[in-house]
Amino acid sequence: MAVEFTDANFKELVLDSDKPVLVDFWATWCGPCRAIAPVIEELHTELDGKAVIGKVNVDENSDTPVTYGVRNIPTL
C-alpha cells in the first residue's frame, strides 16, 4: 500500500527522502482520485525500494496542500 503522508510526516518522508518521491494529493469523495488509485498502488509495488510513492488526504491534512499550492485534486 502506498505510504500515507501527513502534515506531520511530510518533511521527513518527502522533503528529506534520499529517493525520488511521487505524492498523490487526493480525497475519498473525489471520483478521479479513486480512478487513479490502482495506478498509484501499482507504481508503489513496481518502484518499491527505488522511489517513495505516497498519498496525502487533503481533507485530513490541509496544511501541506496549501503550502504547495494544490488547488485541485487529484494532483501528482
Please identify which of the residues 22, 30, 36, 51 carries the catalytic annotation: 30
Assess if residue 76 is contained within a domain: no
Residue 73 maps to a domain: no
Say if 74 falls within a structural domain: no
Whether 33 sits among the annotated catalytic residues: the reply is yes
- Note whether residue 43 is domain-resident: yes
Long-range contacts at 67-71 (CB < 8 A, ≥ 24 apart) = 70/25
Provide the 3-class DSSP secondary structure of residue 3: strand
The C-alpha atoms of residue 65 and residue 68 are separated, in whole angstroms, by 5
Per-residue pLDDT of the chain (76 residues), as tens digits, is 999 999 999 999 999 999 999 999 999 999 999 999 999 999 999 999 999 999 999 999 999 999 999 999 999 9
Tell me: the pLDDT tens digits for 14-28? 999 999 999 999 999
Please tell me which residue in 2, 14, 33, 73 is annotated as part of the active site: 33
Number of domains composing the chain: 1
**Is 72 a member of any domain?**
no
- Is residue 30 part of the annotated active site? The answer reads yes
Structural domain containing residue 10: 3-67
